[in-house]
């Protein structure tokens, strides 16, 4: 059994076997002397995308997802791709909004980095980027960077307090202008290749014009820039402005007479000038020939007593026209006319491209009849009659064996819009058709 040990009498301090619980110490917090806006701490956003307002996937039987997974799992593939496209690193197309009509802060921040530093430093940066694009053959991008460099040098920036190096600015601006001219020239050349497949003439002309304007700006900064004369002459030659191209070459060679590139270009300009002169000469000859043909045609009408009239809205006849054949400028030639044979009772027609003045109606009906749509066999050489409208609005019978010239020179008919119209109707129906025409004429205002 356990033994009890007797305590010595010298122990005066009482032994308390069940000590009372010590009172709880009350600690007081020091007063907060900072403003509440600094003491409020917010949890940093560490999710790839903002958390949606709805639940993060937790149910009564499954735990909630971590925020990083929840920001993706709760969205569709299209939504994730849309959010990624607003992040500059993953952009496949430029999206300048935050998806809610606000500003894309990250994109604007990256843009702002382009303009850090003095005007000379920023413009030099754009120039170097343009040089990189030009060396890679990305002429459109290079043109944009050079344009930004020019724009920066033309701005008045308040933060520029130190004195700019004027000569350095001029050199950068000159380089940006002349290199942008090169980009415009190359873009025009590319457009010319595409022109063989589709119509891009307008874009090509605009690029060449931009090239000449950039060269002019370069020459204002440095009148001795040979590249500006050379590229300007190239663009002007492409626009067939050979006179101005010759002038640009001449100015360049006056500064540097031994420049082989300018000499070769001058040879091309001279060759193109000869070609254009030949084209212009032929155009003038064609215009003079056409004028002479019209004069002979009018003389032929007058000599034959043929009347003509124009309504201002001629029908489309392709290359069909009244002509003197075989020689349009010979008074001995024969007139030929486009003629329409109308079948008014059946709303059909036939077109004769060259009806000679010596031909008769029967000579053409002979190969036209029978008509494929004439199921009742009403149209035959012996059973049809021809009619033309008179100057007074009436009708005159056209003899089938009478020449066209005799009808046209009778003074009772006229040619309207350079085309002769003859109505062909069956004899059995001619009287009724004529009465119907007269009735329409009387009813017309």
pLDDT band, very low/low/confident/very high, at 216 (cuts 50, 70, 90)? very high
Work out the percent of the chain whose per-residue pLDDT is above 70.
71
Q: Tell me: pLDDT of 37 over 50.
A: no
Q: What percent of the chain has pLDDT over 90?
A: 56
Mean pLDDT of all residues in the chain?
Answer: 81
Give me the pLDDT at residue 10, please. Answer: 53
pLDDT confidence tier of residue 395, bands split at 50, 70 and 90: very high
How many CA atoms are closer than 13 Å to the CA of 199, on its beta-carbon side?
1
Q: How many CB atoms lie within 10 A of CB 445?
A: 2
Give CA separation, 114 vs 97, 138, 257, in Å.
Answer: 20, 20, 42
Q: For residue 90, give the DSSP letter.
A: G
CA end-to-end span of the chain: 149
Which pLDDT value is given to residue 74? 64
CB atoms within 10 A of CB 268: 15
Lowest average pLDDT, out of 74-78, 249-253, 258-262, 270-274, goes to 74-78
Check if the beta carbon of residue 336 is closer than 8 Å to that of residue 418. Answer: no
Question: Would you give the DSSP letter of residue 251?
Answer: H
Residue 373 backbone phi and psi in degrees, to 5: -95, 0
Cis geometry, peptide bond prior to residue 376 (ω within 30 degrees of 0): no
Q: Would you state the structure tokens that stand for residue 16, as one six-digit string?
A: 């308390």
Determine which helix (DSSP H) or strand (DSSP E) holds 357, and give its type and residue range: none
Q: Can you give the pLDDT at residue 20?
A: 53
Query: Backbone dihedral region of 421: left (phi > 0), alpha (psi from -120 to 50 degrees) or beta?
Result: beta
Q: Is 7 helix (H, G, I), strand (E, B) or coil?
A: coil
Say how far apart CA 283 and CA 363 lie, in whole Å: 39
The verdict on whether omega for the bond into residue 232 sits within 30 degrees of 0, i.e. cis, is no
Question: How confident is the model over 242-263, as a mean pLDDT?
Answer: 95
Among candidate residues 192, 214, 219, the one with its CA nearest the CA of residue 205: 192
What is the CA 281 to chain-centroid distance, rounded? 34
152: enclosing H helix or E strand:
helix 139-154
pLDDT, tens digit (0-9, with 9 covering 90-100), for 173-193: 999 999 999 998 888 777 665
Dihedral of alpha carbons 200, 203, 209, 214, sign: negative
Tokens of 308: 């003509």
User: What is d(CA 86, CA 99) in angstroms, rounded to the nearest whole number?
Assistant: 8
For range 268-290, the mean pLDDT: 95
Q: What is the pLDDT of residue 318?
A: 86
Q: Is 1 helix (H, G, I), strand (E, B) or coil?
A: coil
In this predicted structure, what is the pLDDT of residue 225?
Answer: 94
Q: CB–CB of 324/404 below 8 Å?
A: no
List the structure tokens of 372. Answer: 């494929």
- Helical H runs in 316-410? 361-368, 404-408
| Radius of gyration (C-alpha) of the chain in whole angstroms | 47
Cβ contact 419:317 at 8 Å: yes
Residue 386 parent element (H or E) = strand 384-389
| pTM beyond 0.85 | no
Which whole number is the average pLDDT over 259-270? Answer: 95
In the numeric block, which tokens belong to residue 228? Answer: 């500006």
Mean pLDDT, rounded, for 409-413: 93
What DSSP string runs through 78-133?
HHHHHHHTTSGGG-SS---B-SSSSB-HHHHHHHHHTT-S-HHHHHHHHHHHHHHH
């Amino acid at each position: 059994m356990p033994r009890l040990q007797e305590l010595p009498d010298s122990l005066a301090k009482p032994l308390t076997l069940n000590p009372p619980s010590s009172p709880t110490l009350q600690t007081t917090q020091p007063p907060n002397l900072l403003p509440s806006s600094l003491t409020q701490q917010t949890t940093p956003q560490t999710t790839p995308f903002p958390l949606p307002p709805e639940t993060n996937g937790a149910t009564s039987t499954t735990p909630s997802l971590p925020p990083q997974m929840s920001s993706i799992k709760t969205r569709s593939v299209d939504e994730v791709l849309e959010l990624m496209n607003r992040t500059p690193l993953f952009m496949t197309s430029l999206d300048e909004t935050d998806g809610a009509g606000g500003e894309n802060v990250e994109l604007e921040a990256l843009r702002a980095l382009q303009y850090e530093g003095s005007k000379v430093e920023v413009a030099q940066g754009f120039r170097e980027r343009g040089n990189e694009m030009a060396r890679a053959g990305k002429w459109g991008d290079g043109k944009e960077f050079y344009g930004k460099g020019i724009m920066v040098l033309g701005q008045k920036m308040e933060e520029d307090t130190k004195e700019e190096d004027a000569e350095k600015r001029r050199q950068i601006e000159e380089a940006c202008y002349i290199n942008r001219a090169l980009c415009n020239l190359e873009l025009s050349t590319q457009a010319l290749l595409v022109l063989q497949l589709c119509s891009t003439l307008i874009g090509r002309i605009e690029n060449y014009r931009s090239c000449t304007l950039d060269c002019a700006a370069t020459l204002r900064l440095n009148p001795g820039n040979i590249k500006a004369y050379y590229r300007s002459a190239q663009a002007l030659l492409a626009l067939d402005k050979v006179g101005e191209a010759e002038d640009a070459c001449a100015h360049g060679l006056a500064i540097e007479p031994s420049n082989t590139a300018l000499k070769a270009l001058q040879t091309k300009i001279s060759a193109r000038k000869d070609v254009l002169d030949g084209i212009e000469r032929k155009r003038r000859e064609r215009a003079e020939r056409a004028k002479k043909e019209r004069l002979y045609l009018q003389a032929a009408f007058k000599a034959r007593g043929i009347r003509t009239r124009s309504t201002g809205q001629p029908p489309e006849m392709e290359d069909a026209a009244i002509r003197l054949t075989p020689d349009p400028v010979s008074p001995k030639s024969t007139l030929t006319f486009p003629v329409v044979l109308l079948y008014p009772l059946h709303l059909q027609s036939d077109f004769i491209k060259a009806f000679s003045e010596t031909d008769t109606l029967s000579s053409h009906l002979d190969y036209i009849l029978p008509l494929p749509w004439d199921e009742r066999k009403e149209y035959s050489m012996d059973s049809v009659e021809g009619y033309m409208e008179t100057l007074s609005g009436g009708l005159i019978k056209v003899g089938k064996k009478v020449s066209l010239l005799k009808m046209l020179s009778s003074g009772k008919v006229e040619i309207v819009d350079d085309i002769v119209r003859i109505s062909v109707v069956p004899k059995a129906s001619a009287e009724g058709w004529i009465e119907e025409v007269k009735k329409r004429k009387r009813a017309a205002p």
